[in-house]
Structure 1
Amino acid sequence: MKAKRIYLLLLSSMFLSLSFAQNAKLRQADKEYRDFAYVKTSEILLEVANKGYKSVDLFQKLGNSFYFRNRMEEAAKWYGELMQLTEDVDREYMFRYAQSLKAIKNYDESDRWMKKFYEADKADLRGKAFASNVDYLSTIEKLSDDFTVNNMSINTELSEFGTVQYKNLLVFSSTRGGGKEYQWNEQPFLNLYQAVKQPDGSYIHVEEFDESLNSKFHESTPTFTSDDRTIYFTRNSYVNNRLKKDEGGTVRLKVFRSTLDDEGNWSDPESLIINNDAYSVANPTINAAGTKLYYASDMPGTLGASDIFMSEIDKDGNVGKPVNLGSVINTEAKETFPYINAEGDLFYSSNGKAGLGGFDVYVVRGFEKKMENNEALGTQNLGKPVNSSKDDFGYYENNGTREGFFSSNRDGGKGDDDIYSFTIPECEQTVEGTVKDKKTLELLADATVILFDKEGKELQRMTTKVDGEYKFNIECDKEFLVRGEKELYISDEKRFLTPRTSQELVVELLLDKDEVAIAEATNLRDALDLNPIYFDLDKSNIRPDAEIELQKVISVLKKYPKINLDVRSHTDSRASDTYNQALSERRNKSTIKYIVEVGGIDAGRISGKGYGESQLLNKCSNGVDCNEEEHQLNRRSDFIIKEM
C-alpha cells in the first residue's frame, strides 16, 4: 500500500513537472509572439503541439506565425486544426484559412471557407468580391497571357524584390548584406542594391546602390523621378541608430526622399510629412510628371490592413495630404506595392480580391486620366504568368524597352522572394468592317472612316471603295472610336476596347439617311444624341473628346446655313455660385470660339451665355449629397436653334 502511494506521488509529480514545463514554453512563445519573432514562436509551439496539447490560442498563434511568414502549407495545417477544434472564432481566421488553402491550390476547400466568411458578414468587401465572382478562376484564365517569366540571375537564397530601372541600372531591395537579423523572419535587414544592364539585356555586377542611403535597418522599394535626380524609398523608423517602436511595440515604416547634386552625391534622406510614428507609410511610386506620389499605408481611414493612397506634389516639392484611392481598389485586407507607369496605368498587389492566391497583381488601366475626368474605375487581375497561387507583387514595366519585372515567392524560386523578368509581348490588332446603309444594308462606297483614340485625337482615316470595307492596324489593350461619314447620311460611330492579345476585331458601321427633325427651339444635344462636352477640372479649354461632339454641331450648321444657334453652358453645384458662374462663362466662350475658328462658322450665327448652377436638372443643389453621375447630369452644354 505504501509503495502504491509513493508511485502515485511520483506520477503526480511527473505530470506537474510536465505541466510547469509546458506552461513555461507557452509563456515564452507568447513573449516571442508579442515581439513579432514568428520563427521562434513557431519553433516553441510546434514542440508543445507535437506532444498532443491542443487549444484555440495555440492553433491561432501557430497558424499566424506561419501565415505572416508566407509559409502557407503549414499555416493551412494549423488553421485546419483550429477549425476542427471550434469554428467559433474571429471570422478573420476563416479568411486566413481560405487564403492559405488557395496558396496550396486547394481551391474548392478555399472557396467553401470564403463562402462561410462572406455569410458571416456580407458587408465585407473581400467577401463581396468573392460572392460577386464565384467563377473567378475562369475569368482570370481568360485574362492570362502566353509569355515566359524568368527567375533572374541576381537572386539569392534570401529575399530580393521591389525593382525599378534607373539609367542603365536595375535597383532593387535585398537581404543579402548579412549583419543584424530581423526577428520577424530571421533574415538580415533589407538594403538597396543595383545590377548593371548588359548589351544582351541581362543584369549583372550586383553591388550596393549607394552606401549613404543604406542603414543597418530596412531600406526598400525605391522609385525615381523622370529626371533621375530624386529618389523616394521606404525605411524603418529609427532614432539615434536604434529602431523606434510605437505604443504597441511595432516598428513603423516611413517614406524618405533624397536628391542628387551636381557632383553625383545623394543628399541626406528627409522624412516626408505624410509619415507618422503611429502608422506605416511605404512602397512609394511617382508618376511620370512628378506631380503625384502613390504609396501604401495603414493610417486612420484605411479600409483594411493597408490601403493605396495618393498625395499631390507641388512645383516646390511639397507633398500634400493623403487621399485614399477608395473601395474599387482597396479592401478590408491588404493592398500594397503600387506602381504607376508612364501611361498612367496603376498596378498594385492585393490579397483581398478573388485571385489565384496570396497577393495577386491588379491593374486599373488609364487610372490617372479617369481620375482627371471623374470616370468610373475598373480593376482587373493581370492573370498568369505574372500571378500564381503564392505572393506576387512589386510589378514594374517599361513599355519603351518592353521590359517587365515583378517579385514572387512562388514554387521553384531560388530563395524567399525572387525577382522575375519578362519581355512585354508584341501585340498586333486590326479593326475592320463595312459601311452600310442602315435601312437597305447596301454597301456604301466613298464613305469616310475615321479612327480616333479615346481622347478624340484623329489617328487614321480612309475612304471606302465599292465593297464598303475599311481596315486599320491598331494597338492592343487600348480604347478607340471609329466613325463612318458620308454626304446625305448621319454619321455612325462605335467605341471599343481592344483585347490584350493579338486578334482581328470586326466593327460594322450603319449610316442612316439624314432625316433628323430640325426646327426652332430644337436642342441639338438631344437631336444629335451628343455625348457630354467634358472639360478638365477647373479648366475651360476644349479637350479632344469634346471636339468629336462639337464637330457634329458644326456639320449641322454647315448643312443648314440659315440656322442661328444659342450655346448655353451649365455647371454642377459644387464650388461657390460666383465661381461656377464665371467658370460656365469661360467654358461658353471656349465652345463658341471653337465652333467659329475651327469650324469656320460665321460668328454672327452664334450667341451664348454661361448659366453656372442656376438651371440644375435635379435635386443636387448646394449641400445636397449626390453621386458623380447625378452631378454629371448638370454639367452640360445645350445648343438651341433660335432661328432658321
Structure 2
Amino acid sequence: MNRTKNIRLTLCVVLLGISFGFAQKKSTGDVLFFQYEYQKAVAAYEKQISEGSLTEQQYLNLADAYFETDNFDKASEAYLEIYKKDTLMDSHHYNKMLQSLSKSADKEQKQAYLTTMSTSFPKELMENMEFNNQLLANESAENELDYQIFNLEGNSAQTDFSPSFYNNKLLFTSARSANKKLQFEPGGEGFFNIYESEIQANGQVSTVKEFGILSATDYHKATPSYSEALNSVFYVLSNTTDDDELAFDDNGKNALSIAKQSVNGSYQGLLKDLSTSFYYPFYDDSNGKLYFAADFEDGYGGTDIYFVYTNNGQMMSAPINLGPRINSSGNEIAPFIFENSLYFASDVFYGLGGMDIYKANVEGEGFGIPINLGEQINTEFDDFGLIIRNEGDGLLGYFASNRPGGKGKDDIYGFKVDEKPGLRTITFKGKVLKPYNPSEVVEKAAVRLWNMDGEMIAETYSDEDGNYRIEVPAADELVLEGTKERFSRYIERFDQEQLDSIQQNGLNVEMAQYDDLVEEREGQKVVKTDDFYFTTSSVQLTPEITTQLDEVVAFVKAFPEVQLRIETYTDSRGGSSTNFKLTQGRSDAIKKYLVEQGVPSSSILYSIGYGEEKILNNCTNGVYCLEMLHKQNQRSLIVVLNDNVLFD
C-alpha cells in the first residue's frame, strides 16, 4: 500500500504534525520530504542527483522516501550505500535497512548485514529476534487460536483506528470529520477526531457519532483511552496557542500533546513539548501508571513506549523508558495492558510486515520477551492498537489494520476468541549464586534449558550481577542446567506444578566453586573443613565431627567425579601399634558415615590410618608438649586424589 496514502499515528516521523517554514533554506526535495510528500520528494531528489549531487543527509532522506513509498529495492540500495560509509545511520535506520532487505529481492543479504550490525543492537533485541524467529518458523495450525475476525460496520472510507473501551461503547479515532479546514496533502484528509459507538452483542458497533465531551478544537483529537477508575479519557491533541491556533517550535514543527478530560467536564494538559510528539496514552487503573509512545531523541529507535507515575492521573515523575526488552530499533506504539500482559505494536525488522502486534508478560517492573501474535491478527501490512476484555465465556477485542479488503485506509477490526492471544511461555529467571555464600553471585555462568527429548531449547549466561533469564514456549516438563568451568553443575527437572510455581517466585541457581571448597595442606589438595577431633581413644563420631563431614558430602555431590582418600593421624602419645589401629578405625568410621550419607563408596579409593607416622612438630615420643601442640598432630584429611586432572 502506498504509504503517502496511509497517514496515521503509527510512524515515528510525526505524521500527524504539520511543518510550515524551515530554520534554513532547503532544497525542493527537502521541503517535500519534511511535508511528508514522499513520492514527490523522490522525484525532486532524483532530479537533484542528475543535476549535481546530494548531501549525505539528503541521500538518507531519499532512502527514507523510497522506504515510505514501498520502493524497497531502491531503499535497500540507498541504505547500504550510506551504511558502507558508516555515517548518519542510527539504529532506527538500521531497522529500515533490514526491513527493506527482507522485502526486496536481496533477502539473503539481510542475515549477512544483521550479523555485522548485531553488536550495535542491545542483546535483548537479538534475543527477542531469535525467539520470535523460532516461534514463527514453528507455528502450526494446531497451536493457533480460533479467531473470529470481522470488519466493523462503523468503518468509513477514511482512516479509522485506535479503538478504546468506554463502558459498553467503543471510542475510536477517525478522519471522517466534515471539518476540512485544513487537509494534509499526503493523506488528503482532515484533522482527526474521536468518535463513539455502541457495542452490540455480536461485537459489531452501531450509532457512530462524535464523542462530544472533549474540549473543542479545530485540530487533532485522537487515540483515546478511557480510565474507569478516574472516569476520564486520556487522548492526544495538536499543540495550540491560547486562541486555538496551531503552535510551532523554532523549526516550524507542530507536535502532539496528551491531555486528560474527566467525563464530568474538567480538562487537564499532561504532556506537552512543542518539539516532541506524544502518542497513544493508556492509563493502568491497577497502579496509576500512564503509558504512552514518544519520539524522544534518547530512545532506542524511532518511537518508544514510556510511562510516568501518577497520583490519580496527576504526573508524579519524568518519563521512564520501558527499556530494550520492549523498545527496539523500530517504532513501538499503542500500549495496552490486560491481565498482566502488555500488548503493543512494533515495526521491528523481524516481524511479519509493517506494524505487528506483540504481547509481553509483565514481570514486576520488567517484561518478558515480546511475542508476535502471529498470522490472523498480524499480516504483511500494518496491524496495531489492540485492545481486549473478557466477554461471556471468551474474550472480545479490537485492533486496526490496513490489510486488503477494508472499507478505508485503516479499518477497525473486531475479534472473538476463547483464550488470550499470544503463545503461553515459561520464564526462568533469578540469580546464579554460591550456596554457601548467597551474597556472592556467579557471573558468566551458562544456563541452559532442555526438553525431555534431550534437546537444548535455550541458552543464556548470567550477567555481572549474577542475573539470568530464559523464556521458552510452555511445556509440561523441562530440565534446567547451569555450568561454568571449575564450578559444580546444577541440573534439575521440573514438572508442570513446579513450572507454575517458578513463574510466580523465580528460581535461583546454586553453583559451588571448586576452589572455594578445597585447600592445600601438607602438600596435597584436601576438602576444606574446620579442624575436628575425636574423643581420646574413641572412634565414635560426635555431632561436631558429622557437621564437618556433611561439608564433604556436599562437596562430593557438587563434584561427583572426585576421587578421595581418607587420612587420619594421631599424636605420639600411646603405643605405636595402638595408634595405627585407632586411626584406621577412625578413617573407617568416617568412610562409613560418608557412604551412609550418599557418597558412592567407589569415590573413596582409600581409607587409611597413619597412627603417629607423620608428626607435624617436635612432639615426638618422649618430648613434653602442651596439649595444643599435641592437637596439631591429631587430624583427619579428606584428600582429592584427582585434583590435577579433574577439569582437563
- Give me the TM-score of the superposition, normalised by structure 2: 0.54
Contact 1:256 1:270 in 2 (8 A): yes
Any idea what SS the aligned residue of 1:420 has? strand
Aligned residues with identical type, % of pairs: 23
Output the CA distance in 2 between the equivalents of 1:234 and 1:413.
Answer: 25
Counterpart residue identity of residue 389, structure 1 = E
Instruction: Report the alpha carbon displacement of residue 329 of structure 1 after superposing the two structures with TM.
Output: 0.9
Alpha carbons 1:166, 1:228 under 8 Å: kept: no
Alignment partner of 1:421 is 2:418: no
Q: Measure the CA separation in 1 of the matches of 2:149 and 2:209.
A: 24
Distance 1:83 1:230, change over 3 A: closer
2:155 aligned partner = 155
Counterpart in the other structure of 1:615 = none
Cα separation, partners in 2 of 1:44 and 1:195, compared to 1, 3 Å: farther
CA distance in 1, matches of 2:353, 2:376: 13
Gaps of 5+ in 2: 1-25, 422-472, 478-493, 502-542, 555-648
CA distance in 2, matches of 1:44, 1:288: 49
The answer as to 2:248 corresponding to 1:245 is yes
8 Å Cα contact 2:203/2:396 also seen in 1 = no
The equivalent of 1:378 in structure 2 is: 369
Pair 277,479 (structure 1): closer, same or farther in 2 beyond 3 Å: farther
Amino acid at match of 1:165: F
Q: Secondary structure at the match of 2:28?
A: helix
- 1:405 partnered with 2:405: no
Q: Deviation per CA, 1:152-180, whole angstroms, max 9, x where unpaired?
A: 22222321110011122110001111412
Q: Which of 299, 307, 310 is 1:310 aligned to?
A: 307
C-alpha contact (below 8 Å) 1:39/1:185 kept by paired residues: no
Residue 116 (structure 1) aligned with residue 116 (structure 2): no
Q: How far is 1:345 from its partner?
A: 1.3
2:595 match: none
Work out the CA distance in 2 between the residues paired with 1:206 and 1:58.
44
- SS of 1:221's partner is strand
Q: Aligned partner of 2:137: which letter?
A: S
For residues 513-572 of structure 1, give each alpha carbon's deviation from its aligned partner in whole angstroms, at most 9, with x where no partner exists.
xxxxxx9999xxx9xx9xxxxxxxxxxxxxxxxxxxxxxxxxxxxxxxxxxxxxxxxxxx
- In structure 1, the partner of 2:197 is 195
- Contact map agreement 1:122 1:128 (CA 8 A) in 2: no
Q: Is the 8 A contact 2:382 2:401 kept in 1?
A: yes
Aligned pairs for 1:156-175 (under 5 A) are 156-175=156-175
Distance change in 2, residues 1:492/1:47 (3 Å): closer
Q: What's the CA shift string for 1:617-644, capped at 9, x where partnerless?
A: xxxxxxxxxxxxxxxxxxxxxxxxxxxx
- The change in CA–CA distance for 1:100 and 1:83 in structure 2 (over 3 A counts) is closer
- Say whether 1:334 aligns with 2:331: yes
Structure 2 letter corresponding to 1:271: G
C-alpha change, 1:377 and 1:130, in structure 2 (3 Å) is: closer
Shift of 1:358: 1.5
Give the aligned partner of residue 340 of structure 2.
Answer: 344
Corresponding position of 1:213 = 215
Change (3 A) 1:151 1:52: farther
Considering only CA atoms, is the larger Rg found in Structure 1 or Structure 2? 2
Q: Does residue 1:230 correspond to 2:232, yes or no? A: yes
Q: Deviations over 1:37-79 (max 9, x none)?
A: 4354356568889x999978777545423534xx43x3x1431
Task: Write the deviation string for residues 3-22 of structure 1: whole angstroms up to 9, x where unpaired.
Answer: xxxxxxxxxxxxxxxxxxxx
1:108-140 deviation digits (Å, cap 9, x = unpaired)? 834622531441452224567546765463156
CA separation in 2, counterparts of 1:376 and 1:198? 34
1:149 partner SS: strand
- Structure 1 length-normalised TM: 0.55
Q: Please say which of residues 344-353 and 297-306 is displaced more in the overlay.
A: 297-306
1:236 and 1:254 in contact (8 A); partners too? yes
CA distance in structure 2 between the aligned counterparts of 1:409 and 1:160, rounded to whole angstroms: 10
Residue 356 of structure 1 and its aligned partner are, at CA, apart by 0.9
Question: In structure 2, what is the Cα distance between the partners aligned to 1:80 and 1:478?
Answer: 37
Is 1:138 equivalent to 2:140 in the alignment?
no
> Which amino acid in structure 1 is aligned with residue 277 of structure 2?
S
Give the alignment of 1:185-584 within 5 angstroms.
185-210=187-212, 212-227=214-229, 229-239=231-241, 240-261=243-264, 266-267=265-266, 269-272=267-270, 274-289=271-286, 291-299=288-296, 301-315=298-312, 317-341=314-338, 343-352=339-348, 354-365=350-361, 367=362, 370-371=363-364, 377-401=368-392, 402-426=395-419, 494-496=497-499
Contact 1:159 1:417 in 2 (8 A): yes
> 8 Å contact 1:145–1:385 — kept in the other structure?
no
Change (3 A) 1:230 1:316: closer
Indicate if the aligned counterparts of 2:227 and 2:283 stay in contact, CA closer than 8 A: yes
CA distance in 2, matches of 1:86, 1:247: 29
Compared CA separation, residues 191 and 133, structure 1 to 2 (3 A): closer
Aligned residues: 404
- Deviation per residue, 1:417-454 (Å, 9 max, x gap): 211110022589xxxxxxxxxxxxxxxxxxxxxxxxxx
Q: State the alpha-carbon separation in 1 of the partners of residues 380 and 249 from structure 2.
A: 34
Question: Over aligned residue pairs, what C-alpha RMSD do you find?
Answer: 4.1
Is contact 1:226-1:290 (8 Å) kept?
no
On the 8 A contact 2:389/2:396 being kept in 1, the answer is yes
Cα offset, 1:88, TM superposition: 3.3
